[in-house]
Amino acid sequence: MCTASTYKTKDFYMGRTFDYEFSYGEEIVVTPRKYVFDFRHTDKLTTHYAMIGMAFVADGYPLYYDAVNEKGLGMAGLNFVGNAVYEDAAVNVKTNEVQVAQFEFIPWVLGQCGSVTEARKKIAGMKLTGTPFSARLPAAQLHWMIADKNDCIVVEAMEDGLHVYDNPVGVLTNNPPFPLQLFALNNYAGASRRQPENTFAGTLKLDAYSRGMGGMGIPGDLSSQSRFVKVAFTKLNSISGESEQESVSQFFHILGSVDQQRGCCEVDEGKYEITIYTSCCNATKGIYYYTTYDNHQISAVDLHEEDLDADGLIRYPMITECEIHWQNKN
């Protein structure tokens, strides 16, 4: 499945892993301000904030997995299978009620909102529908993390309605619903970056025989709840310099703590979930960094190097082949 995280040094960063058994052919896609978003149930956006992110482009439309806009607001959609429930689109809608198809949710928010505060207000008057993009691309069961440099929320559409939660750790995985993901951290209140003190029994001498024993009990399996705990612990204890190189490098190390290797998570006979790509976006500067399963060389696309007043999508295929930098060969 997937893991999303935020990170802040001098600038604000947001990114995710995309873990699945196959790729849809996703690309890094820049949507400039004058690309027209012709929404299914609400008014089209003929001008909006520019955005950059990873998307599968279908019939000229960017189906974003994760993206940030030129104002520094970021958003990622992660699988929420078995829990996501959308509403049916209604012909006659209530006054001021906006219907948004789930595949439109990321551009609908990022196109109009410059902060989490603005996104909260927009979402409060919205109904999220299960309208499919096409017969070939049905509605995906997702929940979303939305973040800026000051705030972070999670949005979940469930059987009992639409929920918006504060996210104090800036991490999201898949199941269970976010409140249960967050509650699970209580089980690890004793975990620490420091070596443990012997509190087992006053009369028994015990030794910390290895470094890193303060974190014993932090899970290492690939389940979504375990990944949430692992990345939350790693991120919240993470220390790096303030430079761009140090910040980006550290962010990839944080998400690398839950990297999925081929063969460790079998989803069907002979089919294995792997980390297809990992992204890290400097939301402050609009730079989208990424690595892929076979190419750990960091690649990047800069939003502000493009014509942001254009009206057509700008697309960059992922660089997926392994690149080795030889030091002693011409």
* Structure token pair of residue 52: 């950059």
**Predicted confidence (pLDDT) per residue in 7-30, tens digit:** 999 999 999 999 999 898 999 999
What is the pLDDT averaged over residues 254-265?
94
The answer to whether residue 138 sits within a structural domain is yes
Give the mean pLDDT of 41-45.
91
Could you give phi then psi for residue 223, rounded to 5 degrees? Answer: -65, 155
How many Å is the Cα radius of gyration of the chain? 21
Average pLDDT over residues 78-104: 87
Q: Residue 330 falls within a domain, yes or no?
A: no
The domain tally of the chain equals: 1
Residue 226 counted as domain residue: yes
Residue with tokens 């001498």: 205
Domain range for 159 is 2-317
Assigned domain for 323 exists: no
- Backbone φ and ψ for 192, nearest 5 degrees, come out as -150, 155
**Helix axes 224-236 and 244-256, enclosed angle (nearest 10):** 150
CA–CA distance, 44 with 66 (Å, rounded to integer): 21
Strand ranges, E, within 178-273: 266-268, 271-272
Q: Is residue 265 part of a domain?
A: yes
Give the separation between CA 168 and CA 118, rounded to whole angstroms.
18
**Phi then psi dihedrals of residue 304, to 5 deg:** -85, 5
In a domain, 286, yes or no: yes
Phi first, then psi: what are they for 230, rounded to 5°? -60, -45
pLDDT of residue 328: 94
Residue 174's nearest CA partner among 6, 20, 303 is 20
Mean confidence (pLDDT) of the chain? 94
Q: Domain for residue 324, yes or no?
A: no
DSSP 29-52: EEE-TT--B--SSS--BSS---EE
CB 163 within 8 A of CB 172: no
Q: In CATH, what number is assigned to the domain containing residue 254?
A: 3.60.60.10
59: left (phi over 0), alpha (psi -120 to 50) or beta: left
Q: What is the C-alpha separation between 282 and 270, in angstroms, rounded?
A: 37
> Among all residues, which ones are annotated catalytic?
2
Residues 162, 87: Cα–Cα separation, whole Å: 10
Q: 162-221: per-residue pLDDT in tens?
A: 999 999 999 999 999 999 999 999 999 988 888 888 888 878 888 888 888 878 888 999
- Beta pairing class for 98-101 and 126-129: parallel
The C-alpha angle with vertex 250 and arms to 246 and 251, in degrees rounded to 5, equals 120
Judge whether 322 lies within some domain: no
95 pLDDT band (50/70/90 cuts)?
A: low
Strand partners, 84: none
What type of residue is 83?
A: N
CA angle 171, 176, 177 (to 5 degrees): 70
Nearest alpha-carbon partner for 58 in 130, 137, 128, 129: 137
* pLDDT of residue 241 exceeding 80: yes
> Residue 295 pLDDT > 70, yes or no?
yes
d(CA 281, CA 284): 9
In 103-220, which ranges are continuous DSSP H helix?
105-110, 116-124, 178-183
